Every structure is written in structure tokens, then in C-alpha cells.
Amino acid sequence: MLNNDDLGKAVLNDDTNALYRILKLQGASNIISITKKHDLKDAISRGQILSKKWLIDHVYHLDLGTVWLCAGWYATLATMMFEAKCKVSGIFSFDIDNTCAEIAESCNNPWVVNDWQFKATTADIYNLDYNTGKFTTKKPDGEETIRRKPDTVINTSCEHIDPIYWAKRIPEGVRIIAQSNNMKHIKEHQHCVDTVEELLQQIKLTNIEFAGSLPLPGGYKRFMVIGHK
């Protein structure tokens, strides 16, 4: 059961030990062990964790199939989804930063070794082949080409990319889960939105399953839309 005192400490005081206890209860115990090996920095900040828990709360009941996690960073979302027992057949994480894949696979090692239920790949998400699901990933002994068409595509960093151009590349029928925020003061955030309606204009969906906003510590908001092209 979530301890309200821990929640207050984590949210108001940024208490790391309280945050770890919350992570363990919410299904992210593997992240805790990895933070002792790698500095995950903002990837496990209170805003990031609350945003990812919010996403999981809204997809837990859905059959997500094969998931492509775009701009996946260290793939802590994948860890939380696996440990929360979300309905997925596999999660593949893509990030253009070539330092991310090794840490992402550390965070998700139990599922990497389980017949690649998880795999991280260095790739530009603008250039992924969402239609065929074909991509090339690194292995310890070389490279391998994989074909796993996504049933669900997740991008929780739409403020960092051109979401309109990105979303146009995803074929009809694929479920999209997209998050953005209104933190326009951050230089790297070039495509922020002020409302969930703006995010819906960027990520055009024909079947909307969810659209909403989440107030977060620090006075900013996270926006999320879920639906199909």
C-alpha cells in the first residue's frame, strides 16, 4: 500500500529514499538496483516517475501487443510496464543517443535475456520503418535484422521532437500513446503544448481512447493522448 507520508516526502522534498520505496511499490524495483550502477539523473525524477505511472494506470487493461518505445532514453518506462505486468508481447526501445542502449538494457536485463522480450537500439525515430517493423540492432557478436511490426507506439518526449512529422510516419491502425508538457523554458523543448487539445492537433487520432492532463510538482503539466491512427 502506498504510504502517503512517503508520497509527500518524494513530491515536496525530493526525498530519494521515499521515491525508491514508491518505485518498489509501483513496480519498478529493478530500476532501484540499476541506479546503484548508473546515474539515471532526471530519468527517475519525481515528475518522470509520476508521468510514467499515470501512463501505466491508463493502459494496464489494454492488450498492447508489440510495443515500440520511441525516444526511449533509458527505457525506465519499459521496466515499470514489465514489473506492473502490462499486457505486452515485447518492448523495443529506440533512441538516437548512442549512450542510452546499454543502460536501457541494464534496466531491463531480465527481459533482454528472456528471448529478447526487451531490446534497445540506437536509431533515429524519424527513420524507423513502422510499416514493416524491420530494424537492425546490435548483439554482443555483431548485428541482427529484426522484423517486429508495432501494435503500439509510445513516445513520452514529444516536446523534444517534431511530433507532427513523426506521427505521420506511423501507419493507420497502430495505437499511439503520446505525452508532452508545457515546460517551454527548457531550451531542448521545441514543441511544447499548453493544452491536451494542442497535443491532439499534433498527434492526429481517429479513435481517441484517452486525452488528459496531469499537474506535476514544480507547477508544470504533462499531457497525454491514447488512441489509433
CATH for 185:
3.40.50.150
Please name the amino acid found at residue 207: N
- Determine the structural domain holding residue 85 and report its residue range: 41-228
Q: Is residue 149 situated within a structural domain?
A: yes
Q: Is residue 62 situated within a structural domain?
A: yes
Helices (H), 108-205: 109-112, 163-168, 196-202
- Higher-pLDDT residue of 67 and 11 is 67
- Higher-pLDDT residue of 15 and 121 is 121
Q: Is residue 80 situated within a structural domain?
A: yes
Please tell me the pTM assigned to this model. 0.84
Q: Kindly tell me if the per-residue pLDDT of 59 is higher than 80.
A: yes
CA distances in angstroms from 78 to 132, 194, 198, listed in the order given? 22, 27, 26
Q: Kindly tell me if the per-residue pLDDT of 196 is higher than 90.
A: yes
pLDDT attached to residue 91: 98
Domain count, the chain: 1
Q: Is residue 17 situated within a structural domain?
A: no
For residue 179, what is its C-alpha cell?
Answer: 505525452
Q: Is residue 13 situated within a structural domain?
A: no
